[in-house]
Structure 1
Amino acid sequence: MKTGIAHLPLHGGKAPSWLFQRMKRLAREIIIAMVSEYGPQEVLRKLSDPFWFQALGCVLGFDWHSSGVTTTTCGALKEGIKGLEKELGLFITGGKGAISRKTPSEILGAGDQLSCDPEKLVYASKMSAKVDNSAIQDGYQLYHHSFIFTKSGDWAVVQQGMNDANKYARRYHWLGSKVENFVVEPHSAICCDSRGSTLNMTSVESEEARQTTVMLSQEKPDTLVSEIKRLQSLHLPSHHQVDIHDIHPDRLYKTFTKTYESIPENFESLLGIEGVGPKTVRALTLISEIVYGKAPSFHDPVRYSFAHGGKDGHPYPVDKDVYDRSIDILRGALKQAKVGNNEKMDAFKRLSYFM
């Protein structure tokens, strides 16, 4: 299994129109070829591989070392297959910023083309985002969420967070078929160059802390608020990992009322309650650790180019003629394959052995 670190420093600017238009066309041909040869599930599997995803971004012409490769590559894939979703059996929803919040409605909009319950896909989309924003508190605020799924209900997630302090991005990859539990080691990969102090409630080591926070969430709000205020008055050791200084107990009262009334059965259902965010999880975790001695994991979960150049000229400027020729060659190979001439597609398969 490949392992390593993907360097994702934040870069300004965006892909110029002339490049993005080509990225869309090439992305479309690549996805058509993959679905034709291996099926839509293989596309999900590949996108959940951080190295393959990074290589795809480079093939499409984006910089190997830019965090923009995530948003632009996902955007090119989404735009590239627009109108072909039913034929391919593959759907790409979400995106950057405000577009990411439209993901549930986009999933439901494809409901009549699916052979599965779209609400389950909506839940997977929401929970994957909730986990990476609240259950893993690593200083990276999500700003991009792409949810990719098939008509049969298989899914994958590529989402990214930004840390304004260290100017790095962190990318989170999910593959639905590998997720046995949304809150226990659910990722296929998390990529970033920077490691830091991280509250990781998805670690196997956090099992007792998860159980205790669920128990605490069923306590009366007044009890929890008074406990937090008491802890804030204590002089905690400087090495303590869970920061409580920006938590305002009285503001959490409303959320604690919701958890008390909902009686969550487990950490996943607790996390799914509306209003339960990073500060709620952090407050319950602190009480769990200090009062009950059930400490969570603070292990940063991070685990872990260049066919057409990059938009910023790294490692060299994009050659537009070569790029257009690549699109034409792949499109031609697909047309030939449709009429029974598989020689060119067989060549592409042999090429894949070196990737």
Structure 2
Amino acid sequence: MKHSGAADLPLYGGSIPAWLFDRMTTLGLAIVESIILEKGQEDFLRRLSDPFWFQSFGAVIGMDWNSSGVTTAVMSALKKSINPRSKALGLFVCGGKGKHSLQTPNELLRVGEATGLDGNYLANCSKLSAKVDNTAIQDGFQLYLHSFVVSAKGDWTVVQQGMKAQDSTARRYHWHSASIQSFLDEPHSGICGIHQGEILNLVDHAAQPAQISMTNIAQENPDKILHEIRHLKMPMHFDVRAKDVDLKRLGSVLWLAQETQVRDFEDLLLLKGMGPRTLQSLALVSEVINGTPTRFSDPARFSFAHGGKSGRPFAVPLAVYDETIATLTTSVEKAKIGQSDKFQALKKLSQIAQASEENFKVTENPEQEFAKVIAKERADSWRYGGKTIHGESKPLDGAQLELF
């Protein structure tokens, strides 16, 4: 059974512009379909229940890399893209933010009617998961988002988030049906949020004596019970910095994303002629689809696929984003009818990048080289149709480049 973990999530405000959300929805769907096509619904639900993968997924589709808003963006995009295709995908997304979260039990009852699953049981799981995180775990965060994703086979993942307005922090909780033996015994697959020391967690395995004592109205106070397990700590600073990224991993992607490299690898010949900037994005998207859990320890790296809506680390390159969507979508559709050559070539992108990491050497001045990568992205942003919530990118003059 998986244990609880914790991570920092700054609470940033602001809405997602339509020009970006539409693309998030389309790319998100293509990624989901790729995972299901290759490994099935259960593998996607497992990934969704991993706080590290979840943050990486949010970053690769263009959300601000460390923002709590990743949770709302990802779950909203998935609900919009998956539900109209639930029958074909075998997945259903219920709930959401605010008032939408209250509709989760009713939505799950309808899922039960459509699939033959026990809707009452699913609704009860939804209620219990929310009750545990809002009441049994007294960490000071009040839930405001609750999403329940269930497969036609009955496997499910819950993603929910609470906020603490007084210090502008958020905590995201993940649940996975495969890891739960009891709602009262360490049910989480991961908890993401601000680490603030010990908290009262009455569903920790070590709290079972306390549960019994409380049930029997015992006079003794329970011991402190939280132990730290996995901790995804997202920093509070807004910019992406060199220390936030595994530079060998990022460097190998940047090295591979060159047309000369593509010509040298027979497995990638089907991608020949594609722009190097799009190859960079596709390599990172490919890793989100195919990477193992240990590959997502640095979610900030995935923001180098499509930037972020606020311009950090750089503006969203719309032309690149659209080419990424078109390439991935086409490869998925062809793979569905047995023409999987391009689908496999995209898979090879991340595999070759990973294999090259062992021999990739980080320079003696990694911070300086990292700054050059970001400066180049920002300088070239206008060429790729770069856009942020503040407007479209413009060519930079020498003085402006010096600022970076």
TM-score, normalized by the shorter chain, greater than 0.5: yes
Aligned residues of 1:107 and 1:122 also touching (Cα < 8 A): yes
Alpha-carbon distance in 1 for matches of 2:207, 2:334: 54
Secondary structure at the residue paired with 1:95? strand
Name the residue aligned to 1:221.
none
Shift in Å, 1:301 = 6.9
Distance change in 2, residues 1:325/1:30 (3 Å): same
Aligned residues of 1:310 and 1:316 also touching (Cα < 8 A): yes
Name the residue aligned to 1:143.
144
**Structure 1: gaps (5+ residues):** 217-287
Alpha-carbon distance in 2 for matches of 1:313, 1:26: 19
Alpha-carbon distance in 2 for matches of 1:323, 1:5: 31
Deviation sequence 1:142-165 (CA, Å, 0-9, x none): 101110001111100111110112
Matched, 1:333 2:261: no
Name the residue aligned to 1:303.
231
Alpha-carbon distance in 2 for matches of 1:85, 1:133: 29
Alpha-carbon distance in 2 for matches of 1:6, 1:324: 32
Alpha-carbon distance in 2 for matches of 1:203, 1:316: 41
Shift in Å, 1:5 = 6.3
One-letter code of the match for 1:178?
S
Which has the larger share of helix? 2
Distance change in 2, residues 1:115/1:351 (3 Å): farther
Deviation sequence 1:305-348 (CA, Å, 0-9, x none): 31100111111110111111111011110122123221121123
Secondary structure at the residue paired with 2:31? helix
Distance change in 2, residues 1:163/1:293 (3 Å): closer
Alpha-carbon distance in 2 for matches of 1:42, 1:352: 18
Name the residue aligned to 2:201.
200
Deviation sequence 1:174-194 (CA, Å, 0-9, x none): 110110111111111111233
Secondary structure at the residue paired with 1:311? coil
Alpha-carbon distance in 2 for matches of 1:293, 1:56: 42
Deviation sequence 1:169-225 (CA, Å, 0-9, x none): 011111101101111111111112332441111122211110011122xxxxxxxxx
Alpha-carbon distance in 2 for matches of 1:166, 1:294: 28
Deviates more, 1:325-334 or 1:202-211: 202-211
Secondary structure at the residue paired with 1:314? coil
Secondary structure at the residue paired with 1:159? strand
Shift in Å, 1:100 = 0.4
Shift in Å, 1:45 = 0.4
Distance change in 2, residues 1:135/1:53 (3 Å): same
Name the residue aligned to 1:11.
12
Aligned residues of 1:140 and 1:163 also touching (Cα < 8 A): yes
Name the residue aligned to 2:384.
none
Deviation sequence 1:2-51 (CA, Å, 0-9, x none): x9864310111111111101111111111122112211111100101111
**TM-score normalised by length of structure 1:** 0.75
The aligned runs of 1:1-355 (5 Å cut-off) are 6-216=7-217, 288=218, 291-299=219-227, 303-304=231-232, 305=300, 306=303, 307-353=305-351
Name the residue aligned to 1:229.
none
Secondary structure at the residue paired with 1:84? helix
Aligned length: 281
One-letter code of the match for 2:199?
T
Q: Over aligned residues, Cα RMSD in angstroms? A: 2.1
Aligned residues of 2:207 and 2:225 also touching (Cα < 8 A): yes
Aligned residues of 2:137 and 2:203 also touching (Cα < 8 A): yes
Deviation sequence 1:105-153 (CA, Å, 0-9, x none): 1111122322421111111111111000111000010101110001111
Secondary structure at the residue paired with 1:81? helix
Secondary structure at the residue paired with 2:38? helix
Name the residue aligned to 2:361.
none
**Structure 2: gaps (5+ residues):** 233-299, 355-404
Alpha-carbon distance in 2 for matches of 1:123, 1:350: 42
Alpha-carbon distance in 2 for matches of 1:211, 1:7: 32
One-letter code of the match for 1:303?
H
Secondary structure at the residue paired with 1:169? strand
Secondary structure at the residue paired with 1:153? coil
Aligned residues of 2:6 and 2:190 also touching (Cα < 8 A): no
Distance change in 2, residues 1:22/1:327 (3 Å): same
Deviates more, 1:133-142 or 1:187-196: 187-196
Shift in Å, 1:296 = 5.0
Percent of counterpart pairs with the same letter? 45
Aligned residues of 1:20 and 1:76 also touching (Cα < 8 A): yes
Secondary structure at the residue paired with 1:83? helix
Secondary structure at the residue paired with 1:172? strand
Aligned residues of 1:161 and 1:171 also touching (Cα < 8 A): yes
Alpha-carbon distance in 1 for matches of 2:221, 2:110: 47
